[in-house]
A and B are shown apart, each in its own frame.
Chain A
Amino acid sequence: MALTTYVEAIRQGIWEEMDADPRVFILGEDVGIYGGAFKVTEGMLEKFGEMRVIDTPISEAAIVGAAIGAALMGMRPIAEMQFIDFISCAFDQITNFAAKNRYRWGAGVPIVIRGPSGGGVHGGPFHSQNPEMYFVHTPGLKVVAPATAHDAKGLIKASIRDEDPVIYLEHKYLYRRIKEELPKGDYVVPIGRAAVRREGRDLTIITYGAMLYQALEAAEVLTREGGIEAEVIDLRTLLPLDKDAILASAKKTGKVLVVHEDTKTGGIAGEIAAIVNEEIFEYLDGPVLRVTAPDTPVPYSPPLEEFFLPNKDKILTAARKLAAY
């Protein structure tokens, strides 16, 4: 059976949307002739032409700004950030222009800003970031983070079709490590809906991105060694959060562990803990715990990065502690 990698799934999703809708186009650095630093846009210049696959100067603010202008004129731009770490160079355009446009004067900005995020590849502080919370904190935006090849394709399509600005976070660690068989034909994964990856009744692990696989491995160990059945929820969308899915699972198990590669303070685990606390405190049998990266920049040297990143073992420690309540 034909398996598609996570990166190829994104590429297919973009390709199919560009094929179906002439309003969709791509702009970014090295996306044309080079096919993108990670080859997400490979072949697109030849197929769609240089009018729709634009190699820009090094100008993240202009890349996003131009995307906004084109979107106001009815186009559906996809702005690539070569590494999502460079999205900070366009912070103003995203948070103050795109995010607030509809609210202020009704002119929606249907743009997608996408790029590779995350660590585990010895990228150091500026090629490994998880910047989602700057944008989750900005009303008017949507933020998605697929963990599977299936969702990568379905979510990029949903993002392109969405009427509002979407930050689409691809995890670079997953690019070529994940391979799946994808459904034929057009399909979309809705924004704002989490997925239950593994059912269980003893505790809930909520996560997203590359950490999904660490969480699933940990869940296997919990069952094998202690008969503990963990339910694993893949958020898929960070803004808007699928509160219903989170609360349904939390009510069922009464024990919630949030895992994310993002740093601890201001990470979405805090937000989820607050929601669970506010809405279903009576159902809890233990505190909401979290496993996250510490509050430091992403370090470069392998032992430092290993210390920094959450992994299966750190998840197991927290899960066992929670299960014991």
Chain B
Amino acid sequence: MKGAPKLRTAPRALAAVPDAGPRPTPSDADLLRMFHEMKLTRALEDRIERKLYRQGKITGGVYVGRGQEAISVGAAMHIRRTGEEDRDDIVSPSHRDMAVFLMQGIPMERILAQYMGRRTGLTRGRDGNMHMGDMRHRVVAFISHLGDSIPVAAGCALTFKMRGTDQVSFCFFGEGAASRGDWHEGVNFAAVQKLPVIFICNNNGYAYSTPAAQQMAVAHLSDRARGYGIAGSSHDGNDILEVYDAVGGAVARARAGGGPTLLEFVTFRMTGHSAHDDAGYVPKRLFEEWARKDPILRLGALLEERGLVDAAAVRELDERLESEVSQAVAWAERQPYPDPAECLEGVTKE
């Protein structure tokens, strides 16, 4: 039916491109961690969108990644963090990648303060919601002009090539942003220069009200890879093991000097475009279908199967996360607003 994203269950890779080589498999600890991170992300974003926003406590808009958490979490597991600038990877997330920020060590409280426009938010109240970054946490802040971050991510990777390190640049974007000219220029540049970039497309079916079939004429965004001479494949974005595996392979390729990879993860946007959008243009049954494929449910089922969690442990985790989120919200609500005169500061280096 029109707009429904097609699923591929098996990853594809281009024959002409060097193989990714050996990739890591997640340990039990990794699986538990991924479960935790997805649940934390969901708890935090639910609180922001369903409670705080409706209570009028958020300044500006809210854009969450409900239902798409496996992509950010599965990918972020591969971001190398040692604290050393010439070893750490760099990541350029987009607005539905909350988990990336959390997993890169940015405290929840500061993200909430950011949403509330407070002085101690990541941008000191200069920008809102997910428009934040911190180079100490190796996170590049994106701008509203989606697609602009792609050449920037390529530029970070250019530096890695110049330094001769095996650092990698992770770049997240939606299927809509991939229609932008800047996206094309960035991917082509990374391809011709063989830069270590992982291009991660969150194809969640809709760009605001535009279904993916009206965004592109290819069945899969990864079909674009052949036009750049790079590796590309499409995957089930709600299967965190598939995400973990695909990104792991791409990272291995990049670190080995094999150049960029274009990965498409097919998922579904389980909300409106933003908190104020009721997504009336989306057929209701799509929400029902995709709810059954929820990434957290699926990983939870696997963990139970393997005896790594039980119902009680999950309940306890949920309660603990709720409490952590509440504490962070309380901290954020106590934070002062910036002084009005601060508006004039920090435009250029002082």
**B155 lies within 8 A of A67 (CB):** yes
Chain A interface: which of B38-46, B183-191, B273-281?
B183-191
Of the candidates A59, A67, A97, A101, the one whose C-beta lies within 8 Å of that of B188 is A59
Query: In whole angstroms, what is the CA distance A56 to B192 when docked?
Result: 9
Chain A interface: which of B55-63, B121-129, B210-218?
B121-129
**A61 lies within 8 A of B182 (CB):** yes
Of the candidates B145, B154, B158, B185, the one whose C-beta lies within 8 Å of that of A96 is B145
**B151 lies within 8 A of A69 (CB):** yes
Indicate the size class of the contact surface on chain B.
35 or more
**A93 lies within 8 A of B346 (CB):** no
Q: Is A149 engaged at the interface, CB distance under 8 Å to the other chain? A: no
**A72 lies within 8 A of B152 (CB):** yes
Q: Is B332 engaged at the interface, CB distance under 8 Å to the other chain? A: no
Q: Is B157 engaged at the interface, CB distance under 8 Å to the other chain? A: yes
| Chain A min CB distance to B133 (Å) | 5
| Chain B min CB distance to A57 (Å) | 6
**Which of A54, A93, A164 has the largest number of chain B CB atoms within 10 A?**
A93
Q: Is A105 engaged at the interface, CB distance under 8 Å to the other chain? A: yes
Of the candidates B181, B186, B346, the one whose C-beta lies within 8 Å of that of A103 is B346
Which residues of A are found within 8 Å of B347, using beta-carbon distances? Answer: 102-103, 139-140
Residue on B with the closest CB to A240? Answer: B348
| Chain B min CB distance to A36 (Å) | 19
| Chain B min CB distance to A45 (Å) | 15
| Chain A min CB distance to B110 (Å) | 12
**A142 lies within 8 A of B348 (CB):** yes
Query: In whole angstroms, what is the CA distance A25 to B161 when docked?
Result: 13
**B131 lies within 8 A of A104 (CB):** yes
**A61 lies within 8 A of B185 (CB):** yes
**B140 lies within 8 A of A69 (CB):** yes
**Which of A52, A61, A108 has the largest number of chain B CB atoms within 10 A?**
A61
Query: In whole angstroms, what is the CA distance A161 to B348 when docked?
Result: 14
Query: In whole angstroms, what is the CA distance A56 to B186 when docked?
Result: 11
Which residues of B are found within 8 Å of A102, using beta-carbon distances? Answer: 346-349
Q: Is A269 engaged at the interface, CB distance under 8 Å to the other chain? A: no
| Chain A min CB distance to B64 (Å) | 21
List residues of A whose CB falls within 8 A of some B CB: 25, 51-52, 54, 56-57, 59-75, 77, 92-93, 96-97, 100-108, 139-140, 142, 162-164
Give me 6 A-to-B residue pairs in the complex whose CB atoms sit less than 8 angstroms apart, sorted by A's number: A52-B162, A57-B192, A61-B186, A62-B185, A62-B188, A107-B140
